[in-house]
Copies of this chain bind each other. A is one copy, B any other.
Amino acid sequence: MAAAAAARLLRLAPRRLQVKTSPLAALSFPLPRTPPLAAASGRRQSFCAAAQASAHAPAAAAAAATGPAGEAVGEFRKRLRVADVKGGEDEGAAWVGKELAVRGWVRTCRAQRTVTFVEVNDGSCLSNMQCVLTPDTEGYDQIDSVTTGASVLVEGVVASSQGGKQKVELKVSKITVIGKSDPTSFPIQKKRASREFLRTVAHLRPRTNTFGAVTRVRNALAYATHKFFQDNGFVWVSSPIITASDCEGAGEQFYVTTLLSNSAEGGSLLKDIPATKDGRVDWSQDFFCKPAFLTVSGQLNGETYASALSDIYTFGPTFRAENSNTARHLAEFWMIEPELAFADLNDDMACATAYLQYVVKYILENCKEDMDFFNTWVEKGIIDRLNDVVEKKFVHLSYTDAVELLLGSKKKFEFPVEWGLDLQSEHERYITEVAFGGRPVIIRDYPKEIKAFYMRQNDDGKTVAAMDLLVPRVGELIGGSQREERLDHLEARLDEQNLNKESYWWYLDLRRYGSVPHAGFGLGFERLVQFATGIDNIRDAIPFPRVPGSAEF
């Protein structure tokens, strides 16, 4: 029976149907007594003879060890996943009567009088495979080890399910416990654990429904991001993580150093840190021979590549050494920063809109089960809210109009509203959530005093071509601008802000040699995950959050 079930293990070859591993190898996982090298030993022995000859006749050795060319192009064995069975429109109905094997982790085990129901999840989708065991099932003597968190191999026949919760279930002919899970100490039991607690077991939380779903949607958002930009001719550029350029202001930056690494037993001694005669840290002895930091943005580097390849995007980690213990801040987060050459602020806004609509549409279409889960358990109505983003036109208004709107409202705000002051989160959320009933809003043309030096000055002399894209719940999701491409204007702005022009030499070079109008935006990826899943706390939108006082795991 076991052999028959093993023979039915699906092998999905993505390109050509050629299977290289033997069915026996597939079975070897739950049976570690089968030496994993057995399958290879034949090849190894035959190679040995070849190896003896090889020193003198390399070509012959190569031929002997090869076999026919081209046999193994691009395939490898794929496990059958629960999503392969239950992920289709029919929720698995077409599989009824078929034999298969599922590997995964036990979510729950419910013993009834004559049968035992075991829910097995393999992370490929939210759905478990409901497995039905009877005392006749082979391996039933191990039933005491079939506890929450244990890993199992279940083999059997797919049947229509009597229960209303799923279309199909697995009548198990054999169960094998692969790895046990001590029921008294396993931290994630059946009862719902708080998200705060789950952060303390971040290595196990992806085994819960919520974090499994967040992980899959996060993955889909990342892939949709690449697809969108690649399909539109953008080139992915990796901006540097460590930077010794002074461009970004060191206020909220982490230092990267090896000066502390000659740690004595018990911790680094201060007296071991290289110092100059006047008692300062001697940066010339550091790894990069000067102070180095973790990047806060790849934008300036991205502009250099946009000034050569036209349209580029970065997608990588960025950092803030900001002591903010809030549900909106991380010390380490991923950022997406496209940069468009030969583009103005209107193009930038259109690109940001198209991007956001594309990725939201992508998860609504490709993560239906997970999105239904969020809609039911995390934020009721999130699917409608996201559909609005895809289908409705975004509101555009100027900063000046936004200030007028806020002043004209009867609402009392905590922070003052006045032309020249930055908009606070409460203002942004009022505009998108109340004034425009939940539609995304793009505010543009901010006062130059509250925006960065590189943003292009408008002809009014007061504002810059900057834009913020606001969404309900999250507030600012995207911030962008047309960049100042005129050398004289840019230098004047650096002077105004008392920034050191010499450290920007390469950035200014872009304006000296073939400067072009260009624009771009930045999007905090974890904010997007929050927006798309309804997850409240940004620490739950990234696998291992880094915040003040904690960089565990």
Contact = CB atoms under 8 A, between A and B. Distances in A.
A287 interface: yes
A2 interface: no
Given A62-B437, A122-B310, A346-B21, A392 B551 contact: no
User: Which of A216, A275, A346, A404 has the most chain B CB atoms closer than 10 A to its own CB?
Assistant: A346
B44 A398 contact: yes
Contacts of A20: 350
A181 B301 CA distance: 20
A549 to B, nearest CB: 5
Given A79-B342, A513-B204, A58 B435 contact: yes
B70 A212 contact: no
A506 B206 CA distance: 13
Interface string A14-50: 1000001100010011001001110110011001100
A514 B150 contact: yes
A420 interface: no
Contacts of A259: 255
A55 B405 contact: yes
A55 B358 contact: no
A14 B55 contact: no
Contacts of A287: 254, 321, 323, 331, 548-549
Interface in A283-308: 283, 287-292, 294, 301, 304-305, 307-308
B151 A515 contact: yes
Contacts of A281: 260, 267-270
B47 A543 contact: no
A149 interface: yes
For the complex formed by this chain, how many copies does it contain in all? 2
A32 B517 contact: yes
Contacts of A122: 310
A54 B548 contact: no
A372 to B, nearest CB: 19
A253 interface: yes
Nearest to A550: B288
Interface in A212-260: 212, 215-216, 219, 222-223, 226, 230-233, 235-245, 250-251, 253-260
B235 A48 contact: no
A308 B181 CA distance: 14
Interface in A390-447: 390-398, 401, 404-405, 408-411, 434-437, 439, 444-445
Contacts of A334: 238
Nearest to A309: B123
What is the interface residue range for chain A against chain B?
A: 35 or more
B546 A55 contact: no
B288 A551 contact: yes
Contact of A401 (B47, B58, B394, B398): B47
Nearest to A542: B238
A391 B73 contact: yes
Nearest to A300: B553
A69 B411 CA distance: 28
A167 interface: no
A232 B29 contact: no
A447 B305 CA distance: 45
A465 B28 CA distance: 15
A66 B332 contact: no
Interface string A50-80: 0110111011011001111111111111110
Interface string A328-351: 000110100000011111110011
A37 B458 CA distance: 9
Nearest to A486: B32
A516 interface: yes
A488 to B, nearest CB: 13
A110 interface: no
B544 A239 contact: yes
A392 B439 contact: no
B256 A437 contact: no
A517 B437 contact: no
A246 to B, nearest CB: 11
A353 interface: yes
A544 B206 contact: no
B280 A266 contact: yes
B254 A258 contact: yes
A191 interface: no
Given A40-B444, A54-B436, A123-B308, 16 more contacts: A21-B350, A69-B393, A77-B350, A79-B343, A203-B304, A203-B510, A238-B542, A242-B331, A243-B551, A255-B255, A268-B281, A271-B279, A289-B550, A301-B544, A305-B543, A316-B316
9 contacts: A76-B351, A78-B233, A178-B516, A179-B511, A182-B512, A215-B235, A223-B230, A240-B546, A267-B283
The 9 lowest CB-CB distance pairs between A and B, nearest first, are A123-B309, A179-B515, A76-B350, A206-B308, A244-B551, A55-B409, A151-B514, A203-B304, A267-B280
